[in-house]
Amino acid sequence: MSKKSILILTSLKEQVYEYLREQMGKGEIRPGSSINMEETSKKLGVSKTPLRDALLQLEMENFVSILPRRGVVVNHLTLQDIKESYEIIGALESTALLCAFDKIKKSEIEKLQTLNMEMKEAIKRDKFSLYSAKNLKFHNTFLNLCGNLSLVGIVNNLKRRLYDFPRQEGFVKRWEETSIREHKELVGLIEQGRREEAARFIRDVHWSYEVQEKFIKEFYRQALAISEKS
């Protein structure tokens, strides 16, 4: 190609995928818009092959739809999408916790407690990005111990769909504070060795759409508006 690529030439498909995801997270590529393959490949200085491969991955993750004669359309995130994601994440994190339970030692419990305290401090200072990062680390503490990489991959993809499409600017402080209290209760159940109760709590409270619905509707106002129009 005559034009020099602006991407690092290692795993072009992954580079293109990360670029598109970043643009979606920033809101540069908006839900409902189309992705022009010709223009995008020229902008990135790559052929259509890695771009097509990246778009196929995004379609598998429900970020885009590749439609005959309409090209690539960026999907909206609706309340039904959120509800389904919560149900799947709740079921999978519950399973992961059961699988990881015997591997959660005192050091992991202390890590969970520390992360939860750091989340509490971040919310006090209205630092939502820091809170979000600590929140992911909290859940990854037991997810990464479950021994099922496919499960972890599905959970992470669904969370990216929920949190980065586009990335939310604000937050619902009462929701974060409630989540922190739920984390504390969860850690208590783990510390007491109450395996089944901890797994049910993850599924039936922390990731329950019905339990969290009032906060979800406040946080995802745009998704709610789309759902009501459809």
CATH number for 85: 1.20.120.530
Q: Are residues 142 and 218 in the same domain?
A: yes
Find the angle CA(223)-CA(225)-CA(228) to the nearest 5 degrees: 110
Cβ pair 134, 118 in contact under 8 A: yes
pLDDT attached to residue 1: 45
For residue 59, what pLDDT is reported? 93
Domain of residue 64: give its range.
12-74
Q: Are residues 200 and 100 in the same domain?
A: yes
- Whole-model pTM? 0.85
Question: Per the domain annotation, does 119 fall within a domain?
Answer: yes
From 74, 108, 126, the end of a domain falls on 74
On whether both 129 and 184 belong to a single domain, the answer is yes
- pLDDT at position 188 is 98
d(CA 179, CA 216): 12
Residue 100 sits in the same domain as residue 206: yes
Which of 74, 93, 121 is the C-terminal boundary of a domain?
A: 74
Is position 1 within any domain?
no
The pLDDT value recorded for residue 69 is 75
Whole-number Å distance between alpha carbons of 205 and 90 = 9
Say what the pLDDT of residue 170 is: 67
Cα atoms in the 13 Å half-sphere on the side-chain side of 7: 22
Query: CA-to-CA distance for 143 and 147, rounded, in angstroms?
Result: 8
Same-domain check for residues 119 and 204: yes
Q: Cα 48–161–86 angle (5° rounding)?
A: 150
| Residue numbers of the chain with a pLDDT score lower than 70 | 1-10, 165-170, 222-230
Same domain flag for 91 and 59: no
Distance CA(116)–CA(171), nearest Å, equals 17
Please report whether residue 2 resides in a domain: no
64 shares a domain with 32: yes
Evaluate whether residue 6 is within a structural domain: no
220 within some domain: yes
Cα 58 from Cα 154, distance rounded (Å): 13
Say whether both 104 and 204 belong to one domain: yes
Based on the fold, state whether residues 57 and 141 are members of the same structural domain: no
pLDDT reported for residue 71: 87
pLDDT at 2: 47
Q: In this structure, what CATH number is given to the domain that contains residue 47?
A: 1.10.10.10
